[in-house]
Amino acid sequence: MRSAITLVALPLVLAAIVVAFADTAQCKESTAADVSTASIGGLLAGQYDNAAQVAQAQTKSTEENPAPPHVTVSIEPTQLADWALWRVHMDVDSDTALDADWAMHIERRTFDKSLALIPYTLRPSIDLKKVNAVSFDESQWLSLEACMLRGDFSKSHIAAHSEGEPCAAEGMGLGGKRAFLPASVDREGDSLRVYLIYRGTPLAVDARRVVTAP
């Protein structure tokens, strides 16, 4: 039986993600004039799977330190070059799977020309079954600007994270779904690391691109 998302992310946990992520990716202003919002979308697009991470962890997992759950992150480009759909799927166990869908706006900020990923959540009145990348409609989504991901955007490396406390406050209305809102992303080559929340603690999902978006 597939259950609804019931995980709860706490502000302190989000703050912990920021601290952990800061060790590997410092927040930098994007100054590369040759990087466009469309090129960032293309670099991120694809389906990513952490099956290798799970298999490696299972060889040394214990009851106190279990292997991470199987997670896939599908990043679908839309007909709008600066928008993409992010679909996060987690197999908690053989009977339970959790899903969360986001729209991500790739924006060049006016005042300092830096790039940012701004997540959006679907309006409650919109049926998710009617949402698709081909006929994407940004009016169906609500901005979570306080959860924007900022950092280093280049053709070789994308590393960005959100501010913990402002995002925690804005995400209160999301319920358990906010556990699956990416708190940071680090993409290099076909590797994608995304920080989520799992059972109240930060979860680093180390995934590999298995499908390249057209």
Give pLDDT, residue 15. 52
Give pLDDT, residue 6. 44
Give pLDDT, residue 22. 44
Tell me how far the alpha carbon of residue 79 is from its chain's centroid: 20
Give pLDDT, residue 93. 83
Reduce the secondary structure of the chain to three states and give it as a string.
Answer: CCCCCCCCCCHHHHHHHHHHHHCCCCCCCCCCCCCCHHHHHHHHCEEEECHHHHHHHHCCCCCCCCCCCEEEEEEEECCCCCEEEEEEEEECCCCCEEEEEEEEEEEECCCCCCEEEEEEEECCCCCHHHCCCCCCCHHHEEECHHHCEEEEECCCCEEEECCHHHHHHHHHHHHHHHHHCCCEEEEECCEEEEEEEECCEEEEEEEEEEECCC
Report the C-alpha gap between 189 and 20 in whole angstroms.
22
- Other Cβ atoms within 10 Å of 123 Cβ, number: 10
Give pLDDT, residue 143. 96
Give pLDDT, residue 186. 97
- Please state the domain extents for the chain: 11-211
Write out pLDDT tens, residues 179-196: 999 999 999 999 999 999
Report the C-alpha gap between 56 and 54 in whole angstroms.
6
Report the C-alpha gap between 108 and 111 in whole angstroms.
9
Report the C-alpha gap between 192 and 182 in whole angstroms.
12
Give pLDDT, residue 25. 37
Both structure tokens of 7: 């995980």
Write out pLDDT tens, residues 34-50: 578 888 999 999 999 99
End-to-end CA distance of the chain: 33
Q: What is the block-wise mean pLDDT of the chain (214 residues), using blocks of 10 residues?
A: 45 50 42 70 95 93 84 96 96 90 92 90 94 94 95 92 83 88 95 92 95 77
CA angle 170, 175, 178 (to 5 degrees): 65
Give pLDDT, residue 198. 86
- C-beta of residue 132 within 8 angstroms of C-beta of residue 102: no
Report the C-alpha gap between 28 and 25 in whole angstroms.
9
